[in-house]
């Protein structure tokens, strides 16, 4: 099982792409999975909570400027970029809303691994993910309701409750369990990548299957918008950290944290409060940001001795 977990972590991006392909090739069989996205996301977030410790938040006190820059960039760059890119590509209705859902989400669950592989500041990455996740119940609904260009039949309270249920409660439960049963949890840590990867692959497969016709029809346009959105996040995140005069490792961490979103949360909100079509950008983002993040980390790792 340990070898299987290591394999899943190493080939995460490829497995996510395969999950999307399965959803596209067998939509009838896989589409029902989309109904259970909140459950799978809750499991993924519980696994994330198990990897956290109280001391992971101590960096906020030791390096408040780096954390502040990263979190502000997270909730400023990606939502505005989603709105701008969606408009640039002429997206409307649920497609544009789906872009905004992705942009308003906190940092992605795989970002810490990507930062580590790219020789970035892993401690800063973990702290940013944790802080943005804890802020998400308040910040994410506000951003969605602000940027959506149409009247949404959903209240701030409904979005807040959904994020608390599928993100905050599982993360805190995992955090508490690790604090009270650290020895048991630490023995399970090597296997957690298998849980996270399986959950994300299943979510992507379900969303793509539920939107198979849309993917084959207008999916290319949405996919291009998603790619541009992600690349903007990676570039502008790095730029913001550079302007703030953070060191190279910290710039890499902020870049990945800003560019890689918790697209599973965006998909969960779309499935719960809107339509399956609103979840399509999240599914495509899940596939692409793991590919782009892995490629960027590999390039950075090869340039570890190069200045800049």
Note the pLDDT tens digit of each residue in 48-100: 788 777 776 777 778 889 889 999 999 999 999 999 999 999 988 888 999 99
Q: Does residue 112 lie in a domain region? A: yes
Q: Does residue 120 lie in a domain region? A: yes
Average pLDDT over residues 157-164: 85
Q: Does residue 6 lie in a domain region? A: no
CB atoms within 10 A of CB 177: 15
What is the distance between the alpha carbons of residues 296 and 177, in angstroms, rounded to a whole number?
A: 34
Phi, psi (5° rounding) for residue 247? -70, 175
Q: Does residue 28 lie in a domain region? A: no
Q: Does residue 14 lie in a domain region? A: no
Task: Name residue, tokens 């955090």.
Answer: 175
Supply the pLDDT for residue 52: 75
pLDDT in tens, 254-288: 999 999 988 878 888 887 888 877 888 887 887 78
Supply the pLDDT for residue 235: 95
What is the distance between the alpha carbons of residues 211 and 58, in angstroms, rounded to a whole number?
A: 42
Task: Name residue, tokens 């939107």.
Answer: 211
What is the distance between the alpha carbons of residues 18 and 180, in angstroms, rounded to a whole number?
A: 37
Residue closest to 73 by CA, chosen among 244, 293, 247, 295: 244
Q: Does residue 226 lie in a domain region? A: yes
DSSP letter string over 15-77?
Answer: HHHHHHHHHHHSHHHHGGGGGGHHHHHHHHHHHHHHT--GGGGTHHHHSHHHHHHHHHHHHHH
Supply the pLDDT for residue 152: 67
Check residue 107 and report its DSSP letter: B
Q: How many residues does the chain have?
A: 308
Residue closest to 256 by CA, chosen among 229, 287, 294: 294
What is the distance between the alpha carbons of residues 94 and 97, in angstroms, rounded to a whole number?
A: 5
The dihedral through the CA atoms of 104, 156, 218, 210 has a sign that is positive
pLDDT in tens, 90-127: 988 888 999 999 999 988 777 877 887 788 887 888 88
CATH number at residue 100: 1.20.1530.20
Task: Name residue, tokens 């997206």.
Answer: 91
**Cα–Cα–Cα angle for 253, 70, 305, nearest 5°?**
25
What's this model's pTM, rounded to 2 decimal places? Answer: 0.80
What domain range includes position 267?
Answer: 34-300
Task: Name residue, tokens 């599973």.
Answer: 264
Tokens of 140: 């994410």
Q: Does residue 5 lie in a domain region? A: no
Number of domains in the chain: 1
Q: Outline where DSSP puts E strands in 170-294.
A: none
Confidence band for 227, pLDDT divided at 50, 70 and 90: very high
């Amino acid at each position: 099982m340990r070898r299987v977990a290591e394999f899943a972590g190493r080939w995460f991006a490829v497995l996510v792409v395969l999950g999307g392909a399965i959803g596209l090739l067998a939509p009838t069989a896989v589409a029902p999975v989309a109904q259970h996205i909140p459950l799978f996301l809750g499991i993924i977030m519980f696994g994330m909570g198990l990897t956290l410790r109280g001391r992971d938040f101590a960096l906020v006190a030791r390096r408040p400027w780096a954390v502040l820059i990263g979190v502000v960039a997270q909730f400023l760059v990606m939502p505005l970029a989603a709105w701008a890119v969606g408009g640039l590509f002429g997206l409307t209705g649920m497609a544009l809303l789906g872009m905004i859902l992705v942009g308003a989400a906190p940092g992605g669950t795989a970002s810490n691994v990507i930062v580590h592989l790219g020789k970035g500041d892993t401690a800063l990455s973990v702290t940013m993910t944790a802080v943005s996740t804890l802020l998400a119940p308040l910040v994410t609904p506000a951003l969605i309701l602000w940027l959506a260009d149409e009247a949404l039949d959903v209240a701030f309270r409904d979005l807040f409750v959904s994020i608390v249920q599928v993100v905050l409660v599982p993360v805190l439960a995992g955090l508490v369990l690790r604090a009270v049963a650290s020895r048991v949890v630490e023995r399970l840590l090597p296997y957690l990548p298998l849980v996270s990867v399986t959950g994300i692959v299943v979510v992507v497969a379900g969303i793509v299957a539920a939107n198979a016709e849309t993917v084959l029809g207008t999916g290319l346009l949405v996919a291009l918008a998603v790619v541009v959105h992600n690349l903007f996040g990676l570039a502008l995140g790095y730029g913001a950290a550079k302007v703030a005069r953070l060191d190279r490792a910290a710039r890499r961490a902020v870049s990945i944290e800003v560019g890689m979103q918790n697209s599973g949360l965006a998909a969960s909100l779309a499935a719960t409060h809107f339509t399956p079509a609103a979840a399509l950008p999240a599914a495509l983002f899940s596939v692409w940001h793991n590919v782009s993040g892995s490629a960027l980390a590999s390039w950075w790792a090869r340039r570890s001795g190069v200045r800049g």
